[in-house]
Chain A
Amino acid sequence: MDSAFWSRMLTEETLAFHIIWAAIGVGVPIFISLAEFIGIRKKDIHYTMLAKRWTRGFVITVAVGVVTGTCIGVLLSLLWPTFMQLVGNVISLPLFLETFAFFFEAIFLGIYLYTWDRFKNPYIHWLTSIPVIIGSTLSAVFITTVNSFMNTPAGFKLDSAGKVVDIDPIGAMLNPATPSKVGHVVSSSYLVSGFLLAGLAAFFILRGRKHIYYKKALKLTMITTFILCITTILMGDISAKFLAKHQPAKLAAMEWHFETSKGAPLVLFGKLDPETNEVKYAIEIPKALSILATNSPDGTVIGLDSIPKNLWPPLYIHYLFDAKVSIAFFLLFIAALFLFLSLWKKGNPFHPLVLYGIVIAAPLSFIAMELGWIFSEVGRLPWIITGIMKVGEAATTAANVKLMYFLFTGLYLLLAIVAVTVLIRLFKGKTAEAELASKEESN
């Protein structure tokens, strides 16, 4: 195995680990801010407590997000120096802006954490949560534009020597993939954070916690996630149309669409024979792929036959895509069910089965996010920058990448174990009920 292989492994591992914490870092501030606002507005101490307890856990996850984010930021140059040398010129603006957004967030997170009882007017403290949200969301936006650039490079030309010329910094940021990617990434980050918090509340109710505090937490998060489910799925649909237009190879591989055709059917599930490329056990929905990709039942969808075989992405991404979409619809179902049962007078949204569904939805949502990223990244292979540079050409020539891979693997394992242990210890024996009781006593 060469440096390129280990560089890929290390990058994949770092990103897969980082996005868990990064998504929490982007999404949870929304919920904290929302809860604090409702708490001040309704003068309801339960919501304020919710914001405080979420914040306490959030800081731990943010710390892991920050340090792993630093890792991937630096590893980009360490593992892919040729890539950075070529396009460092083009993508440095969003990278630079991302650091600013992160800076902004870091400053206000410190302020938010340490000024809970500092101001007479509670809204002032609440206001400091807004820059945290803006900062974290903008970092997601800027970094996603870089990834979009790698999918659909724009905003520059290559001269005959292969050097980058005529750079348009804004054009590179606003490349064709940017709108759909940014929308999908931001919306799904909020979504998984919502399900994480909802899953926790549902878990505690199932464990027999009766306090209204948990029900309030569940209602707040589930109503929000219902909206987010819809926007995320909508963004996913926009992404499919985008792929059909700009990255047909990825779409064709993920849908196992071999022949360019009009009125293409959608292949759901199934199994591929790698020798003959025959699909078995699949559900075919006539014309659905054309509708999905082009908004018209007779639209033409480019198949893999139009793409040289050595430029095909790996065909296993179909499985990842199916799994991800299935989870997405399960998430929508459970959120809709909860909402329906809350609105229906005879309904009981806190039925154990619903609660179990929500508890399961939390890890599933994170799995869907991982699958989505893997499918999107692998779907770009063999390119690191579509049509410009292949993965193998970009990797470092340095020895010892393998050693680094194992060192970092150990590091992430350690971080995961310690972070989870610390989080559990943080809340163990300190129930919300007890904290609320002591708070009410002191008032």
Chain B
Amino acid sequence: MTLEVIGISVLWTFLYGYIIVASIDFGAGFFSYYSHLTKKEHIINKIIDRYLSPVWEVTNVFLIFFIVGIVGFFPDTAYYYGTALLIPGGIALILLTIRGSFYAFANYGGRQSKVFLFLYGMTGLFIPAALSTGLTISEGGFIVESDKNIEFLAVKLFQSPYSWTVVFLAIVSILYISASFLTYYAKKAGDFPAMEQLRRYSLFWSGPTILASILVFWGLSHHNPMHFAKAWDIRWVFACSFLFYLIAVWLMWKRKLLGLSFVAVMFQFAFAFFGYGYSHLPYLLYPYITLQSGLTNTTMGWALVIAFIAGLVLLIPSLVLLMWLFLFNAKYVKDGK
């Protein structure tokens, strides 16, 4: 494998990791707020808090890791995306800041307030919307380079149907992923009312997720036909994704093997996400940056790969410990101890 392929694979895997853990977090925030509005907070909030409190900071790191990594491996991305994304990036940052800190204020500050809950719930929908614009822009057509200047066509992005299908997919996916995971978590806790409630959410959002995925393909076929053609070439990958979707929903429907159901959800998104990423190549930003043109100096590239492996040696046992303590520890999941 060449350096640039290793680089992008590592980064893409981390972005995938972020999508899963952040979706659980974002969706949980929305469900918290929604259940508060419908006076059902006593049913599911305990489960949500018990899972999120020890891990919220870790979620944040996945995103930073991706951003720092892509700038490190492909410094040209900093130049193009950095200039273009000032507004959407800045707004996403502000929302992330509000969300992260207010979560801590509410949960460790020991007082639940409606304002905190509202901000936590709503930012959970707006952040993915803002972040997903990064993916839309990568398809090209929203950045124009003139001499020594990069111009970002915000209005065009706003009017693009493709852009809206991506936003729609981002939002419904987080609700679906989140509900599927929390259903499993509630079952482990033996909290059956919460499980039933979350199961309903999961089944409810599974439909729009598939609908949105189809819409995204339709949008892509108009916006970037070349990318669409490459995706069509590996359509078996997306078929696998759909197969896992069916497995996940079926298990959820039957209330059987909920852990496996969530794993199927993860596979569903893994196939779709990696398939999308693979067909996007060689472009990192169409048509300005390719995998080869944007690559960092090779010495630094290998240094990063070595640092990455060393980091994983440290991180994986730590993450396993974290999961063992808070995810697969029946006593903690049940009583919060």
Contact = CB atoms under 8 A, between A and B. Distances in A.
A165 B299 CA distance: 10
B318 A131 contact: yes
A78 to B, nearest CB: 5
Interface in A118-163: 118, 131
Interface string B19-59: 00000000000000000000000000000000001110110
Interface string A59-76: 110111011101101110
A84 B71 contact: yes
Interface string B99-143: 011111100111100000000000000000000000000000000
Contacts of A73: 64, 67-68
Interface residues of A, number: 73
Contacts of B105: 60, 63, 418-419, 422
A16 interface: no
B308 A104 contact: no
Contacts of A70: 60, 63-64, 93, 96-97, 100
Nearest to B62: A103
Interface string B318-331: 11011001100000
Contacts of A97: 307, 311
Interface stretch (A211-219, A274-282, A359-367, A407-415): A407-415
Contacts of B296: 88-89, 92
A71 B299 CA distance: 29
B207 interface: no
A78 B108 contact: no
A425 interface: yes
A22 B57 CA distance: 15
Interface string B296-337: 110110011001100100110011011001100000100001
Contacts of A165: 297
Contacts of A168: 299
A77 B82 contact: yes
> How many B residues are at the interface, by size bracket?
35 or more
Contacts of A78: 82, 85-86, 89-90
B185 interface: no
Interface stretch (A180-188, A295-303, A393-401, A434-442): A393-401
B87 interface: yes
A109 B61 CA distance: 13
B148 interface: yes
A107 B149 CA distance: 41
A191 interface: no
Contacts of A88: 71-72, 75, 78, 296
Contacts of B103: 63
Q: B interface, by DSSP: helix, strand, loop or mixed?
A: helix
B211 interface: no
B243 interface: no
B8 to A, nearest CB: 15
A16 to B, nearest CB: 16
Query: B87, B101, B111: which has the most chain A beta carbons within 10 Å?
Result: B101
Nearest to A69: B64
Nearest to A10: B90
Contacts of A77: 67, 71, 78, 81-82
Contacts of A415: 97, 101
B158 interface: no
Interface in A420-438: 422-423, 425-426
A81 B61 contact: no
Contacts of B98: 411, 414
A106 B75 contact: no
A60 B107 CA distance: 10
B300 A68 contact: no
Query: A85, A97, A165, A397: which has the most chain B beta carbons within 10 Å?
Result: A85
B337 A118 contact: yes
Contacts of B277: none
Contact of A99 (B65, B80, B297, B322): B65
A111 interface: yes
B307 A100 contact: yes
Given A70-B97, A78-B90, A114 B299 contact: no
B83 interface: yes
Given A84-B78, A93-B303, A167-B300, A63 B101 contact: yes
B94 interface: yes
Contacts of A87: 75
Contacts of B308: 96
A231 interface: no
B259 interface: no
Contacts of B337: 117-118
Contact of B61 (A95, A99, A398): A99
Contacts of B101: 63-64, 67, 415, 418-419
B311 A100 contact: yes
A212 B253 CA distance: 60
B251 interface: no
A437 B273 CA distance: 55
Given A92-B300, A96-B68, 9 more contacts: A59-B108, A77-B78, A81-B79, A81-B80, A90-B300, A99-B69, A115-B325, A131-B318, A407-B91
16 contacts: A63-B57, A73-B68, A74-B64, A77-B78, A88-B71, A92-B71, A96-B68, A96-B304, A99-B65, A106-B60, A106-B61, A110-B54, A396-B86, A404-B90, A408-B90, A414-B98
Interface of B: 53-55, 57-58, 60-61, 63-65, 67-69, 71-73, 75-76, 78-87, 89-91, 93-94, 96-98, 100-105, 108-111, 148-150, 152, 296-297, 299-300, 303-304, 307-308, 311, 314-315, 318-319, 321-322, 325-326, 332, 337
The 6 closest A-B pairs by CB, nearest first: A92-B72, A88-B75, A63-B104, A81-B82, A110-B54, A84-B78
